[in-house]
């Protein structure tokens, strides 16, 4: 698309201080549809982790229960050789179906038959410079693993074994836990019964595992597969349990939590998943400022079906996750990944926006799924050096904004008005395309782009001083 310089027609009083201007940037980016959204650093569980959204790879969306040790080890090798560690991806997470359906006589978990040397996997992942993630279920069994001889059998889920299982995965070298709560009530696990509310269930289950993880003495990222709540509350994304968890983080909070249903390998699912992040931000309490866990829109499906998520859509998908500060957890085959998609997943300046050190989440400036005006999201940045040196400065205070523009329907011309991100109407700003890593020049008041359907642009905008 091509950019056009547009000048704002309104006039406000001049601001001589760039700090004042950027205070307005932050306020405007956080102001959506008449109410203020939280966009703070996420510290959640008191384990020294969570200042930035995690990046890595997860086995589930790609392999499900077909995962095995050989494929997992090969993927570790491919991630190490393919430059993903250097790009910022640090966690390699083994999801459901790694364990046996039988515990030991002592009550410990054990590796299943597809992982004959599973107890060495943690060391192997660490030897390649990555961190090792594992999966447990909050219910009496996991979500997908079944005993082939007894489909009603239970016992390998962590309900009632929280402390034992936390200690066991710590011994395996786990640095990340995905704790799936979707299956607890599905199998009528106590205490989910008529005398115990959904809120009670999630408070008790989440807190017990958070405390147990901290008791191991090993820093383990705690991702809660929370929206067990959406089984009960549908599209409203019941936020009561997460609100309670956040306000009582010292009782066993979380570092991140799933903010919606499972992601599919379809472009049409992406916008709804991202919108779920916004819904959760609306529900989180003001008291969680500085301690809010990260809403997780689920794994990146880029590369799993290039006919359903094209290269253009893959770029928009990745940039949209980045501006929303969503965790960047891939779930795709690394060895056969299209080189164009590898380039997208390793874009340094887009990743830098996702990993902005202050952890301020991006928010929609337009309605999240607007089709008549295009989609525009923005977030304040904390340092001009965060993305690119387009302005020589040693200032580490707020000094710019990132913006994401998308043609989500039939809106080929999409405009970012600087006044919508807190600048003065006549502000001259340096604009950089962070995908193409190219400075576009100085624009006054706005920048407009011409986009194909599902095409997007991602900019860094810095006031010219």
Whether the upstream peptide bond of residue 282 has omega within 30° of 0, thus cis, is: no
- Our answer to whether residue 433 is catalytic in this structure is no
Strand 256-258, strand 221-225: pairing: parallel
Please name which of 458, 456, 462, 422 lies closest in space to residue 443, comparing C-alpha atoms. 462
Catalytic residue chosen out of the listed positions 96, 180, 281, 296: 180
Radius of gyration, CA atoms only, the chain: 22
Please name which of 427, 457, 455 lies closest in space to residue 442, comparing C-alpha atoms. 427
Q: How far is 425 from 142, CA to CA, in rounded Å? A: 55
DSSP per residue, 411-442: --EEEEEGGGGT--TT-EEEEEETTTTEEEEE
Show the tokens assigned to 281. Answer: 């931000």
Strands (DSSP E) found in 87-130: 91-93
Q: How large is the angle between the packed helices 270-283 and 240-247, nearest 10 degrees?
A: 50
Please name which of 388, 350, 364, 371 lies closest in space to residue 451, comparing C-alpha atoms. 371
- Our answer to whether residue 262 is catalytic in this structure is yes
Q: Give yes or no for a contact between 433 and 462, defined as CB atoms under 8 angstroms apart.
A: no
Rounded-to-5 percentages of helix, strand, coil across the chain = 30, 20, 50
Q: How far is 165 from 361, CA to CA, in rounded Å? A: 33
Q: Give yes or no for a contact between 378 and 402, defined as CB atoms under 8 angstroms apart.
A: yes
Q: How far is 177 from 206, CA to CA, in rounded Å? A: 12
Q: How far is 112 from 101, CA to CA, in rounded Å? A: 8
Show the tokens assigned to 87. Answer: 């790009």
Distance of CA 461 to the CA centre of its chain: 23
Show the tokens assigned to 201. Answer: 């269930």
Show the tokens assigned to 60. Answer: 């589930």
Distance of CA 262 to the CA centre of its chain: 13
Catalytic residue chosen out of the listed positions 12, 77, 123, 262: 262
Q: Which ranges in 82-225 belong to alpha helices (H)?
A: 84-87, 121-127, 162-171, 198-215
Q: Which residues are catalytic?
A: 180, 262
């Amino acid at each position: 698309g091509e950019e056009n310089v547009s000048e704002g027609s309104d006039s406000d009083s001049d601001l001589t201080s760039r700090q004042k201007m950027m205070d307005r940037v932050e306020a405007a980016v956080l102001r959506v549809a008449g109410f203020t959204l939280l966009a703070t650093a996420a510290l959640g569980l008191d384990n020294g982790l969570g200042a930035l959204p995690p990046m890595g790879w997860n086995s589930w969306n790609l392999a499900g229960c077909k995962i095995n040790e050989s494929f997992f080890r090969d993927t570790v090798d491919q991630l190490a050789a393919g430059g993903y560690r250097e790009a910022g991806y640090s966690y390699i997470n083994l999801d459901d179906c790694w364990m046996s359906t039988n515990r030991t006589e002592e009550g410990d978990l054990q590796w299943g038959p597809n992982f004959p040397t599973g107890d060495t996997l943690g060391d192997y992942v660490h030897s390649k410079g990555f961190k090792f993630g594992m999966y447990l279920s909050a219910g009496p069994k996991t979500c997908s693993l079944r005993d082939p001889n007894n489909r009603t059998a239970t016992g390998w889920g962590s309900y009632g074994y929280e402390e034992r299982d936390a200690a066991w995965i710590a011994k395996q070298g786990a640095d990340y836990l995905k704790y799936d709560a979707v299956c607890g009530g599905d199998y009528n696990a106590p205490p989910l019964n008529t005398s115990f509310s959904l809120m009670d269930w999630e408070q008790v289950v989440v807190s017990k595992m958070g405390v147990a993880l901290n008791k191991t003495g090993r820093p383990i990222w705690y991702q809660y597969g929370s929206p067990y709540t959406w089984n009960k509350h549908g599209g409203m994304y019941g936020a009561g349990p997460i609100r309670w968890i956040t306000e009582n983080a010292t009782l066993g909070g979380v570092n991140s939590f799933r903010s919606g249903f499972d992601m599919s390998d379809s472009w049409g699912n992406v916008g709804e998943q991202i919108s779920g992040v916004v819904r959760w931000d609306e529900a989180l309490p003001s008291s969680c400022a500085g301690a809010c866990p990260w809403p997780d829109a689920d794994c990146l499906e880029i590369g799993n079906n290039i006919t359903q998520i094209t290269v253009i859509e893959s770029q928009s998908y990745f940039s949209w996750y980045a501006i929303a500060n969503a965790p960047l957890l891939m779930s795709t085959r690394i060895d056969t990944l299209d080189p164009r998609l590898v380039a997208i997943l390793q874009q340094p300046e887009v990743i830098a926006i996702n990993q902005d050190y202050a952890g301020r989440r991006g928010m929609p400036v337009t309605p999240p799924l607007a089709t008549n005006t295009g989609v525009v999201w923005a977030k304040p940045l904390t340092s001009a050096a965060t993305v690119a040196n387009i302005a020589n400065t040693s200032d580490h205070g707020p000094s710019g904004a990132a913006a994401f523009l998308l043609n989500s329907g039939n809106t080929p011309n999409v405009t970012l008005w600087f006044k919508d991100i807190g600048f003065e109407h006549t502000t001259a700003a340096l604009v950089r395309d962070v995908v193409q890593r190219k400075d576009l020049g100085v624009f006054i008041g706005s920048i407009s782009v011409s986009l194909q359907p599902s095409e997007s642009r991602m900019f860094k905008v810095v006031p010219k001083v």
